[in-house]
Structure 1
Amino acid sequence: MGSTLAAAAMSAFALGAGASDTPAQANVAPQERLGLLRRYDLAPARLADNLNAFADANRLQIVYDANVTGGLRSRGLIGNYTVREALDRLLEGSGLSYRLSEQRATISIRLAQADNGVRSDVSDAERLPPIDVGAASGETRDGRRGGAPQGPGDRHTGYNAVSAPTTLKTDTPLLKTPLTVEVVTRQTMDDQQAISVGDALLTNVSGVTESTNVLDVFKIRGFSNPIGNIFKNGLMEYRIRKLDTTNLQTVEVLKGPASLLFGRGEPGGIVNLVVKRPLDTPYYSIQQQVKSFSGTRTTIDATGPLTQDKSILYRVNAEYYSNGSYRDYVSDRNLFIAPTLTFQPIEQFRMNIDFEYQNRTWVDDYPVLPAVGGSPASIPVSRYLSSASLMTAYPDHSDRKRIAYDWTYEFLPGWSLTNRLSYTSIATRNENVVPLSFNQTTGVLGRFAFFIPGTTDRTFATNLDLKGKFSTGPIDHSILVGLDAFKNYIPLYVSYQPFLSSINIYDPRSWQVENPYGNQVFGKSAQKWTGVYGQDMISLLDDTVHILLGGRYDWAESSANKNFSSYLNALSSYVTTYNTAFSPRVGAVYQPLPWLSFYGSYARSFGVSNSSSTGLPLDPQRGELYEAGVKAELLDRRLSLTMAYFDIFKTNMPYADPTNARNTLLIGKARSQGFEFDLTGRIDDNWSVIANYTHDDVRTVQGALSYNPATLITTQLAISGSKLPASPRNYGNLWVKYDADGELQGLSLGAGVSVHESSFGDNANSYVLPAYALVNGMIAYRTNIEGYTVTGQLNVKNLGDVTYYPTSTDRYTIQTGTPRTFVGSLRVEF
């Protein structure tokens, strides 16, 4: 009977037994396969879940007793390891041992309790206790879900991440890096029904606030760049609007200057979007969402293998989105399709090919609201101050196509070559209404428009990385050497800048007919960037000290025409400026305990030369960072803590001249100095938390030398000591989720609050954006119906229906916050 039960158990838990090897793998002898290095990226989770993932990755059999692993957790596995090294690390501290036994062309791993808690290759197989086949994978024996298992479709990933290999370009754990990286996971986005990238970022990462509603631009540690701080899979996304989360697996924020790895960027940091990858297990999902203001959204996710040996995988994500707005006349329609293929003909080579198509039409909303006296104008937040006749007759339109690939070849154990490339073409019709003047007494707003009937924006980006590991005596080295290139080109186009009739904000005449074809102008521009970089992560003193040394050299070109009056003048006045720069980064980490580290770093950044609205080149932006902090992985690595002090300087910041919208002014130097706190992850099997707090003083250090205080409101000059617009000194967020078990298993409840201190709204610090607090909530229930996983969910945002103003740039452009919003959804997975 015992032998029969053991045989049944071996069949039930022979993980990977039914998987067939690829042709290349079949030619590798089992014992040789044990010595091959393989890269792992396993987050902290239940031990059984990580053993399953390990077995699948290596096509090995693991036989174990569910009683032995029940309740045990694994610290995860990040990096390149042989089979033996990986098992040693996965089982570290568990009190379990294993025995390897070769059977024909496979390796079987038998797991049992060890007397000394260390590996034993010769332990007797008879020491295995009776095997219980009753506990299902992904659950403990009492039915409670584990810490952060990879769920169907890689959706249930937990809130915590211990690495960010796409953003850091290495597999170094975050705990061992002198950099601050925060990761918004797929489960976070799903739990909060985050439709846009802004939804995902603004409450889940410290130091991130809104910058403008014109582009998808975010302030990170007080600084923003309207065209250059968003990346996708490590390559820049240029001039992108309304980014969506449909095909994203994580949204990662690298804080501080990122020039070493990414070239052009803000000294505050960059946002890197990591797309979903195909899975070798078939998975299908369809979700229907409805939201306030007549919003509907349908998304589809399908993935699986295309070949029997699973060497070719596919994934397709698609979305159709239609939404109104609490703002009069504003609307948005979006069609998005993103297929992805993965090729892995041999173990050492993997290639992903991504396609994206987006067709979007929307009515823009700019300007939003002016200031009157010392506060935002007291008018309904729904009031539309743009030109309703123009914007509805000529809505903005974007037709975007993107193709990209990335491949990695591990040509030697621990050594690999990675190449990424993307090409994006965006055909647009665009119209913006810009405030020109405002009478504080009468409420009359003067306006003119930018109308571009059609142009095509083409962007090319690529990079090549060489990574390797080696040792020099007691010192371990992890090196990265790379080069990259970026080019954006907008061919000669015609646009119009007509002066529009004035509008009274208290009594708007929204349907006054306007002619968009006035004041014809011609434009042409290009950006080109080439850089080489290298870094060495040095580990010594028994892996307790880590030192990062790196640098980058850039060659940058910026081109534009300075005469807009005619086609010929635009061609003949085309000017190109050249800049070069060296950007170093140094950092150190001291790790006295496996779960605790202290770090410090210094870095400089370089931004390509600015191009003013007149086409004349301006001096390039430069940044400098000093940072120190503490990182910890708490509660058996389920919870990540980061505390950081930072001091950042940025020079040559451009801003619009409010007295002449065709002119650009510069802030000589600004400073962002503050403290951040992030706590993310799982407290236990039931409770998860995201908590962050930011204290940041962002102000002008070197501003206008000559100004008239009586006209400061009109001129909006940035003077020394003044705060930068919409830069609250203190703000924070808290989100808590409860997953029920027992009879209520499948029920999830979540609640959160976001609090922002008041801030000045313009460079002159002439008015105040009031403080606000927003309350959000979530209830969801997941069940199984006839083999289908069905999830119903309801989220409410701004539960108290608070009137608030999240950001501004000057006295004319205050952005209003969204009123109370409900988002309901029904998802079916199989």
Structure 2
Amino acid sequence: MESILAAMAMSAFGAGAPSTPAAAAIPPQDPSLDAVKTYAIPAGPMSGALTTFAEKNGLHLLYDARATHRLRSPGLVGSHSLRGGLDRLLMGTGYAYRFADVDGNVSIVLAQATETRNDATPISSATPLPAIDIGAEARAPESRNAGAGQGPGDRHTGYRADTASSALKMDAPIMQTPVSVQVVTRQTLDDRQAISMTDALVTNVSGVQPSQGFFDVLKIRGFGTFGNTFKNGLQENRYRYLDTTNLQSIEVLKGPAAMLFGRLEPGGVINMVVKRPLETPYYSLEQQVGSYGLTRTTLDATGPVLEDKSVLYRFNGEFYRTDSYRDFVSDQNVFLAPTVTLHPIEQFRMNIDFEYHNRNWVENYPIYPAIGGSPANIPSSRYFHPAYLTTGMNNHFEKKRIAYDFTYDFAPGWSLTNRLSYANLGTRILNAFPGTFNQATGDLTRTGTYNPGFTDKTFTTNLDVKGKFVTGPFEHSLLVGFDYFNWYGPMLTAFNPPLSSINIYAPTYWQFENIYRNPQFLQNGAKWTGVYVQDMISFFDDSVHVLLGGRYDWAETYLSRFRTSPYLAAATYWASYDQGFNPRVGVVYQPQPWITLYGNFTRGMSANNVTTLGETLPPQQGEQFEGGVKIELFDKRLLATMAYFDITKTNIPVTNPSNASQTSTIGRARSQGFEFDLTGRIDDNWSVIANYTHDDVRTIDGTATDPLTAYTRQIAVSGSKLPASPRNYGNIWIKYDAAGELKGLSLGGGLTVVESSLGDTANSFVLPDYTLLDGMIAYTTKIEGYNVTAQLNVKNITDTVYYPTAGSRTTIVTGTPRTFLGSLRMEF
């Protein structure tokens, strides 16, 4: 079994170590273990890195080379002790070590098992060195599932991750990054049966809340993520119905991240990490069936194309269909995602991703009003769109995406990475938006938008050069990068017809509507270019890390709007050209390997501001101060993160209450609070995800106006809370994996508690607090050599009526009632 790293007898030394190593007996407490030496071991195959390290220190290093065949080391550059050097070499591999007091050998052992070596000698019959206890899940404690039937396929990842590429665009451990970053792993997605991005992130990560709207836009630390969603480090310009089928994990980087990723909202970044092909063949077929007619079939297949494993493949596919608790709403999705990996030489690796996404749905933009100081007392299932139109003219989009990324190790400690993505998205949308609402009669006016079909194109790429070098006592991890983003929407026709009003108590759906009214012709786009430099400086025997970085951006955004004919002069045209520098500074101090103290300051440039008359205003800015503590518990099985943050968003456009055509950038909002996250495994049976958020999100500078004007025109005034921003909310999910006779059985339960919040900009009504209870039961066994898992998840067990978010008095989002979701998965 390639995943087992076993202690070997001296007769097997040739499997992975030099044939004539220098022997040196070093007792475990020998002071030479702390002696500092200078290394220049480049990132690359683990076997070569371990061999070089052993030769440098005159040690015997005994291991089974089959287990290191697929492993890569981040390398080792600079001055390190023997212990510190081994820690860095094994970083992120899932292996730890202790020193064997036999013949002075340092030995790396994951487990003892009855396996057969290449020379046909059973491993268990070899004379083992003393147990080094890496099998206690020390470095990546969750890489192995405690339940029965664990299999390959990168599925049994546990709840905790060691690294997150989005944090620094480097493979630095989370414990050594001066920012708050959380990772939702593949096993978390599976255990919670998370199909949407909202299901995946809300409740599993602190500071994340749903956002009002019909896109997959969330809020991080009180600010929206529109434009802040990335896939493998490249921006996804479309935010509707993001698919989790081919994702290995989802990273959430908190705070302004413009230094690495460009112009973003200041709350944080979501980075979707795609599954990669594996050298070991793996196949999985899963069928899910749930409430409201939900059915979802997914396939995952991977393995080598060539015998030498220089070409690998992976294919993920999904067919999904469901109705909704809301009347008339339905959704159907086909998603196909093949990936090819090219690995002709050790120094070069390239992944090529293809995606085809075809979706048909009945629009469900949240139209639901407030009456007085609370949401209206009407069924949450009631539909306020023109059903005669929306059910007969389903919305549709078809997305085609191709992307690649490659890394080339061109010198010891130095590498070049290039990523590129091109997406073509065709869309047809019919939608309705609420207008005025008469609380006395229940009559709600509506306006419509109809785009009979348009296609937009997104091209994005970046180039990163990373390297390690030493200057005196300082070890540097340098990143120099460039990125380019271009989104273009060619001329499209849009109709904006007024629709008939609807009564919320007695709705009439079958009215004829003429949607081909009030045409306009639009053309818009955006592009920007950025260059950035970042240096992580480590010293004091790798216990202090200082992050220095900066980025310079050149950005352009434009829009043309023609009212009656594309050949007439534009009624509205604006273009914004912005440029600016944004710094990032952070520091990490590790007084002990299991505890990290960190702090950071970062600033980022956000979206352009444009008035209704086409006047260009300065771009919005985000600025954050953050400090926190990270602690590894239970032999590094469990990671706790505590963070205090203070984010200010400036240059927000505000409207003159007496003249809607006058706008200025005097607006300022602030998000200030505390977060706590706990993820990982307590022991071999118990796993946990827990988080708590205290966040005060409010307008600091707004428009001076009287309360009536603020109410009727939804104008933000100083001191008002941002819509749907609860001050306190928390979640906990606990899973138990049985052992002994019940091995294979898993039980899970989760609790979500959210405080009440104010539902609109004018703070005129309240979204009540709510508590949700979820549960899961699963059983895994082997049938005819296949791993078979049956699972049932129940969400909102108590069938609580709740309102998770809102944007105004007429756009309240209703919560999903109790749902059941069962699955049957076969793996081999």
Instruction: State the TM-score bracket (shorter-chain normalisation).
Output: 0.7 to 0.9
Query: Among 766, 779, 782, which residue is 1:781 paired with?
Result: 779
Aligned to 2:251: 252
Aligned to 1:476: 475
Aligned to 1:25: none
Aligned to 1:211: 211
CA distance in 2, matches of 1:681, 1:277: 23
Contact 1:525/1:559 (8 A) holds in 2: yes
CA distance in 1, matches of 2:345, 2:309: 11
CA distance in 2, matches of 1:454, 1:664: 33
Aligned to 1:94: 98
Relative to structure 1, the CA distance from residue 266 to residue 53 in structure 2 (aligned partners, 3 Å threshold; closer, same or farther) is farther
Q: For residues 203-352 of structure 1, what are the structure 2 equivalents within 5 Å? A: 203-226=203-226, 228-352=227-351
SS at match of 1:336: strand
Residues 536-588 of structure 1, C-alpha deviations (whole Å, 9 max, x = no match) = 11111121111111100000001001543321236685432200111001111
SS at match of 1:152: coil
Per-residue deviation, 1:99: 9.1
CA distance in 1, matches of 2:713, 2:251: 38
Contact 2:7/2:108 (8 A) holds in 1: no
Contact 2:206/2:675 (8 A) holds in 1: yes
CA distance in 1, matches of 2:64, 2:668: 50
Residues 639-686 of structure 1, C-alpha deviations (whole Å, 9 max, x = no match) = 011000000001244699999999999771100000000000000000
Per-residue deviation, 1:171: 1.2
Per-residue deviation, 1:590: 1.1
CA distance in 2, matches of 1:674, 1:152: 40
**Pairwise CA RMSD of aligned residues?**
3.4
Contact 1:436/1:658 (8 A) holds in 2: no
Contact 1:562/1:615 (8 A) holds in 2: no
Contact 1:559/1:577 (8 A) holds in 2: yes
Residues 412-451 of structure 1, C-alpha deviations (whole Å, 9 max, x = no match) = 1111010000001100001220111111211110111010
1:490 maps to a residue whose letter is: G
Residues 373-417 of structure 1, C-alpha deviations (whole Å, 9 max, x = no match) = 000011000000111112112211000000000000011111101
Residues 290-339 of structure 1, C-alpha deviations (whole Å, 9 max, x = no match) = 01000000000000000011010000000000010000011100000000
Aligned to 1:163: 163
Per-residue deviation, 1:88: 8.9
SS at match of 2:619: strand
Q: Does 1:490 align with 2:496?
A: no
1:148 maps to a residue whose letter is: S
1:96 maps to a residue whose letter is: A
SS at match of 1:567: coil
1:645 maps to a residue whose letter is: Y
Relative to structure 1, the CA distance from residue 86 to residue 509 in structure 2 (aligned partners, 3 Å threshold; closer, same or farther) is same
Residues 242-264 of structure 1, C-alpha deviations (whole Å, 9 max, x = no match) = 11210000000000000011001
Residues 727-759 of structure 1, C-alpha deviations (whole Å, 9 max, x = no match) = 000000000000001000000000000110000
Query: Among 744, 747, 765, which residue is 2:745 paired with?
Result: 747
1:201 maps to a residue whose letter is: L
Per-residue deviation, 1:162: 1.5
Per-residue deviation, 1:711: 3.5
Contact 1:558/1:608 (8 A) holds in 2: no
Q: Does 1:38 align with 2:37?
A: no
1:203 maps to a residue whose letter is: T
Q: Does 1:455 align with 2:454?
A: yes
Aligned to 1:174: 174
Contact 1:167/1:272 (8 A) holds in 2: no
Task: Tell me the TM-score normalised to structure 2 length.
Answer: 0.86
CA distance in 1, matches of 2:315, 2:64: 23
CA distance in 2, matches of 1:512, 1:192: 41
Gaps of 5+ in 2: 1-5, 22-39, 48-61, 111-122, 146-150
Residues 64-101 of structure 1, C-alpha deviations (whole Å, 9 max, x = no match) = xxxxxxxxxxxxx9732599955996576523379999
Residues 445-469 of structure 1, C-alpha deviations (whole Å, 9 max, x = no match) = 0111010000001001000001011
1:763 maps to a residue whose letter is: T
Relative to structure 1, the CA distance from residue 198 to residue 614 in structure 2 (aligned partners, 3 Å threshold; closer, same or farther) is farther
Contact 2:341/2:350 (8 A) holds in 1: yes
SS at match of 1:216: coil
Q: Does 1:734 align with 2:732?
A: yes
Relative to structure 1, the CA distance from residue 39 to residue 395 in structure 2 (aligned partners, 3 Å threshold; closer, same or farther) is farther
CA distance in 2, matches of 1:111, 1:489: 53
Aligned to 2:559: 560
SS at match of 1:212: coil
CA distance in 1, matches of 2:661, 2:825: 49
Aligned to 2:694: 695
CA distance in 2, matches of 1:173, 1:641: 14
Contact 1:562/1:575 (8 A) holds in 2: no
CA distance in 1, matches of 2:588, 2:88: 25
Aligned to 1:444: 443
Aligned to 2:115: none
Aligned to 2:526: 527
Aligned to 1:118: none
CA distance in 2, matches of 1:439, 1:614: 30
Aligned to 2:25: none
Q: For residues 400-415 of structure 1, what are the structure 2 equivalents within 5 Å? A: 400-415=399-414
CA distance in 1, matches of 2:371, 2:341: 56
Per-residue deviation, 1:714: 1.1
2:44 maps to a residue whose letter is: R
Relative to structure 1, the CA distance from residue 560 to residue 427 in structure 2 (aligned partners, 3 Å threshold; closer, same or farther) is same
Aligned to 2:3: none
2:804 maps to a residue whose letter is: P
Contact 1:545/1:590 (8 A) holds in 2: yes
Contact 1:667/1:700 (8 A) holds in 2: no
Aligned to 2:75: 80
Relative to structure 1, the CA distance from residue 242 to residue 309 in structure 2 (aligned partners, 3 Å threshold; closer, same or farther) is same
Contact 1:234/1:272 (8 A) holds in 2: yes
Aligned to 2:545: 546
CA distance in 1, matches of 2:811, 2:272: 28
Contact 1:761/1:811 (8 A) holds in 2: yes
Per-residue deviation, 1:764: 0.5
Q: Which moved more, 1:652-661 or 1:608-617?
A: 652-661
Query: Among 801, 806, 823, which residue is 1:803 paired with?
Result: 801
Relative to structure 1, the CA distance from residue 172 to residue 503 in structure 2 (aligned partners, 3 Å threshold; closer, same or farther) is same
Contact 1:557/1:608 (8 A) holds in 2: no
How many residue pairs match? The answer is 758
Aligned to 1:192: 192
CA distance in 1, matches of 2:572, 2:369: 36
2:195 maps to a residue whose letter is: I
CA distance in 2, matches of 1:665, 1:363: 38
Gaps of 5+ in 1: 1-7, 20-27, 42-50, 61-76, 102-108, 114-127
CA distance in 1, matches of 2:799, 2:275: 34
1:728 maps to a residue whose letter is: P
CA distance in 1, matches of 2:67, 2:616: 55
1:216 maps to a residue whose letter is: D
Contact 1:158/1:185 (8 A) holds in 2: yes
Aligned to 1:829: 827
Per-residue deviation, 1:149: 2.3
Per-residue deviation, 1:704: 0.6
1:635 maps to a residue whose letter is: F
Q: Which moved more, 1:265-274 or 1:572-581?
A: 572-581
CA distance in 2, matches of 1:657, 1:514: 35
Residues 623-651 of structure 1, C-alpha deviations (whole Å, 9 max, x = no match) = 11011110111111110110000000012
CA distance in 2, matches of 1:389, 1:664: 39
SS at match of 2:249: strand
Per-residue deviation, 1:516: 1.2
Contact 2:709/2:715 (8 A) holds in 1: no
Q: For residues 607-686 of structure 1, what are the structure 2 equivalents within 5 Å? A: 607-611=606-610, 617-653=616-652, 668-686=667-685
Contact 1:738/1:749 (8 A) holds in 2: yes
CA distance in 1, matches of 2:657, 2:824: 47
Relative to structure 1, the CA distance from residue 667 to residue 298 in structure 2 (aligned partners, 3 Å threshold; closer, same or farther) is farther
Relative to structure 1, the CA distance from residue 396 to residue 53 in structure 2 (aligned partners, 3 Å threshold; closer, same or farther) is farther
1:38 maps to a residue whose letter is: G
CA distance in 2, matches of 1:59, 1:274: 19
Contact 1:658/1:714 (8 A) holds in 2: no
Q: For residues 815-826 of structure 1, what are the structure 2 equivalents within 5 Å? A: 815-826=813-824
SS at match of 2:782: strand
Per-residue deviation, 1:176: 1.1
